[in-house]
Amino acid sequence: MTGLMKMDRRWVGMGVAGILALLLPLAVGAADAEKGANKSRVLSQDKTTANKANWGEIRPYFTGESFATKDILVANGTVEPGKAVHGAHRHAEEEYLYITEGSGTWHLDGKEFPAKAGDVLYVEPWVYHGFTNTGDKPLRFFVVKYNAKGVKVPPHPDDNRPDELPK
């Protein structure tokens, strides 16, 4: 077993953010759609594709896998005032979400908290989470969501609850 595989999974693939299980399918057309693992490089926003929806947009930069991660999504996005991408949800990937501009409300494990620029959310696999823009300006965010290679993905909870809650 390599040293990387022995590392505590909290440190593998750490980023400054993460987001939303339903966004990964949107990322298929991301700037790194080439086959194989992501390679070292800089991607400019103008090289990404904006996936637009009635709530705003998301721009995937990297998807797929890297040296230490699989099922990765690295993206930035904008949520319009009064909107949410979808209701609180849960998924197998770990996630970091960083708010770069705006304000809103975090949803984490059945509780709500004020959200503002500079906040970072970390969520473990299968914990309900999300956010709503409750401000009067667009809320901008950066996200990193992934599974670590060599770390067993926790099984889906068998509790008969949906993976996405109503808005």
CATH number at residue 117: 2.60.120.10
Q: Is there a contact between 143 and 91 (Cβ–Cβ < 8 Å)?
A: no
Percent of the chain with pLDDT over 90: 75
**pLDDT at res. 9:** 35
Residues written for the chain: 167
| 7 belongs to a structural domain | no
The residue range of the domain holding 138 is 17-31+47-148
pLDDT at 22: 35
Q: How far is CA 7 from the centre of its chain?
A: 22
Q: How confident is the model at residue 146 (pLDDT cuts 50, 70, 90)?
A: very high
Percent of the chain with pLDDT over 70: 79
Residue 64 lies in a domain: yes
Domain count, the chain: 1
